[in-house]
């Protein structure tokens, strides 16, 4: 909640026209808190394409216990690897393959119309989107860190390409 409040403070200067969020409860809680901070409402569309990576057999388990069981190296591959498979789960590549088409078909048209769009998602779904926007290699995306509550502001040009990028850390206002 506190990180959502700080993120809201970071975007107060932007007139948000529309938002897209994942279908997970914490994304709904975040958008509600941001709207409270901003003191305004705007259309919000929820879609599973923006959901966090499906960790399959590890879903719901304590990540530190998993790390202890499988070791540091495998744990890092599991959490950050581009195409590291998880039984009954997704790779980061799978997440990329659902996030990017959604971005292109649902979000880019709004950006091309000049609308300010807010996207609220999760570590891996955002890493997948940033990989696409910043043209990050499969290897380099494994080292990409996006802090919880961090705000990344992109300016998108008429062709739908990144014109500029600014990172606003939510730990300072």
What is the distance between the alpha carbons of residues 66 and 64, in angstroms, rounded to a whole number?
5
Please, is 135 exposed, middle or buried when counting C-beta atoms within 10 Å of its C-beta (0-12, 13-18, 19+)? exposed
Q: Is the pLDDT of residue 11 over 70?
A: yes
Query: Mean pLDDT across the chain, nearest whole number?
Result: 93
| 74-95 average pLDDT score | 92
Bridge partner list, 18:
117
Non-local (6+) Cβ contacts of 163 within 8 A are 154, 155, 156, 157
Least confident of 93-97, 118-122, 141-145, 169-173: 169-173
pLDDT bin (cut points 50, 70, 90) of residue 172 is very low
Is the pTM higher than 0.85? The answer reads yes
Bridge-based pairing state of the strands 162-168 and 151-156: antiparallel
Phi, psi dihedrals of residue 159, rounded to the nearest 5°? -85, 0
Mean pLDDT, range 81-95, rounded to an integer: 94
- Residue 41 above 60 pLDDT? yes
What mean pLDDT comes out for the span 32-41? 97
Count of beta carbons in the 10 Å neighbourhood of residue 61: 11
pLDDT tens track for 43-73 = 999 999 999 999 999 999 999 999 999 999 9
pLDDT value for 80: 87
Between the CA of residue 80 and those of 25, 103, 123, 137, what are the distances in Å?
23, 21, 10, 13
Express each pLDDT in 140-166 by its tens digit: 999 999 988 899 999 999 888 899 999
Position 173 scores a pLDDT of 45
d(CA 137, CA 43): 34
């Amino acid at each position: 909640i506190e990180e959502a409040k700080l993120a809201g403070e970071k975007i107060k200067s932007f007139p948000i026209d529309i938002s897209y969020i994942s279908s997970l409860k914490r994304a709904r809680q975040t958008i509600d808190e941001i709207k409270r901070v901003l003191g305004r409402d705007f259309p919000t569309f929820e879609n599973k394409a923006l959901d966090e990576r499906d960790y399959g057999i590890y879903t719901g388990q304590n990540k530190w216990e998993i790390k202890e069981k499988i070791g540091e190296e495998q744990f890092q591959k599991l959490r950050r690897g581009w195409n590291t498979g998880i039984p009954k789960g997704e790779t980061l590549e799978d997440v990329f393959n659902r996030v990017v088409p959604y971005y292109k078909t649902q979000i880019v048209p709004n950006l091309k119309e000049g609308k300010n769009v807010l996207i609220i998602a999760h570590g891996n779904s955002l890493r997948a989107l940033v990989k696409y926007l910043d043209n990050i290699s499969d290897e380099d995306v494994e080292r990409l860190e996006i802090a919880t509550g961090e705000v990344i502001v992109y300016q998108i040009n008429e062709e739908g390409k990144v014109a500029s990028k600014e990172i606003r850390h939510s730990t300072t206002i």
